[in-house]
């Protein structure tokens, strides 16, 4: 297992390099750059533009720009933001907390609700409970996240039950720790519900389908024929095998913790990394986008590795030698 983990971590650097090359190339191929907004301003002289190009390094060839940035990346320096005029690392560190809180909260709730209701739906197959859960699941799958977010935002504005945007209120800095926590937690509910509603629906249907498949296997029928209690048959034998595909999905979904809430963060004005990356794409702020790409890539690789390790832990048939 240790050798397997070491091999997976060793290939992280070449994978990271290839992905950053692709992203940087695509950004260079797109028309324009960060200084286009200044070129359209007649009050900005050519001398000023040339000085800005030299200051930001945009006067150099794209290959030189990339390897200059990648060399700094090897020293854990993500570069300098064109738009915010500050180091990218400090800029991202400010936004990581907001995205991490929102994504982790909705991630945990989605998995708990999705797995539990999936099991209930499978055990209550074709009953009224199953049909109600199926309607809820299909609604979550079919309803676009941005539309649900807009509906919730409209509801909050009309009723005043929830704050309409942002992670902090103007009074947060003056509150004590407990009241500040309650204020942020209350503001978290609408964006978290938006992410959770679509997330748990897919998990619930997947869990229902895998458990129903396993319940039809011969060894389950054999366990019942031996007189085992139904609770033991389902939760000790069937569910343990039905959970394997979800364990694989669990590892892959970890990569979306910091990048899977772009639309939700934008609609609810939530100060997160996804919203920052989207704005950086529009502004051609190359190094912010590249830093977000690096973080997402590392999370994807580590998430898949965690999924493989967990799969080996729950399934004795799988061994990484």
**Domain regions of the chain by residue span:** 1-88, 90-318
Mean pLDDT is lowest, of 203-207, 222-226, 245-249, for 245-249
Instruction: Note the pLDDT of residue 271.
Output: 84
The CATH number of domain 90-318, selected from 1.10.3720.10, 3.20.80.10, 3.40.190.10, 3.50.50.60: 1.10.3720.10
Banded model confidence at residue 218, pLDDT cuts 50, 70, 90 = confident
Distance, in Å, from the CA atom of 311 to the CA atom of 304, rounded to the nearest integer, reads 10
Compute the average pLDDT of residues 72-98: 86
Write the pLDDT tens digit of every residue in 113-122.
999 999 999 9
Overall pTM surpassing 0.85 (yes/no): no
Compute the average pLDDT of residues 170-199: 83
Compute the average pLDDT of residues 156-170: 81
Mean of per-residue pLDDT scores for the chain:
83
């Amino acid at each position: 297992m240790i050798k397997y983990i070491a091999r997976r971590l060793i290939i992280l650097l070449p994978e990271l390099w290839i992905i950053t090359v692709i992203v940087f190339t695509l950004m260079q191929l797109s028309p324009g750059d960060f200084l286009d907004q200044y070129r359209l301003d007649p009050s900005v002289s050519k001398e000023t533009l040339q000085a800005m190009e030299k200051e930001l390094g945009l006067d150099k060839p794209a290959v030189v720009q990339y390897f200059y940035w990648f060399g700094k990346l090897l020293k854990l320096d993500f570069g300098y933001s064109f738009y915010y005029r500050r180091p990218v690392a400090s800029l991202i560190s400010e936004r990581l907390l907001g995205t991490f809180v929102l994504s982790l909260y909705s991630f945990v709730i989605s998995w708990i609700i999705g797995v539990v209701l999936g099991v209930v739906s499978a055990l209550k197959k074709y009953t009224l409970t199953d049909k109600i859960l199926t309607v809820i699941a299909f609604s979550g799958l079919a309803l676009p996240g941005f539309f649900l977010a807009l509906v919730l935002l409209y509801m909050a504005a009309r009723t005043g039950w929830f704050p309409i945007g942002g992670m902090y209120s103007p009074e947060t800095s003056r509150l004590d720790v407990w009241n500040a926590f309650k204020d942020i937690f209350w503001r978290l509910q609408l964006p978290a519900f938006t992410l959770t509603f679509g997330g748990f629906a897919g998990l619930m249907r997947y869990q229902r389908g895998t458990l129903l498949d396993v319940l039809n296997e011969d060894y389950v029928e054999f366990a019942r024929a031996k007189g085992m209690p139904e609770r033991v048959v389902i939760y000790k034998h069937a569910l343990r095998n039905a959970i394997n595909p979800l364990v694989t999905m669990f590892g892959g979904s970890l990569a979306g913790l910091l990048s899977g809430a772009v639309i939700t963060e934008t609609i609810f004005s939530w100060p997160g990394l996804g919203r920052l990356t989207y704005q950086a794409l529009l502004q051609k702020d190359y190094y912010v986008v590249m830093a977000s790409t690096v973080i997402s890539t590392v999370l994807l690789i580590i998430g898949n590795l965690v999924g493989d390790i967990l799969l080996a832990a729950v399934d004795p048939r799988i061994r990484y030698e």
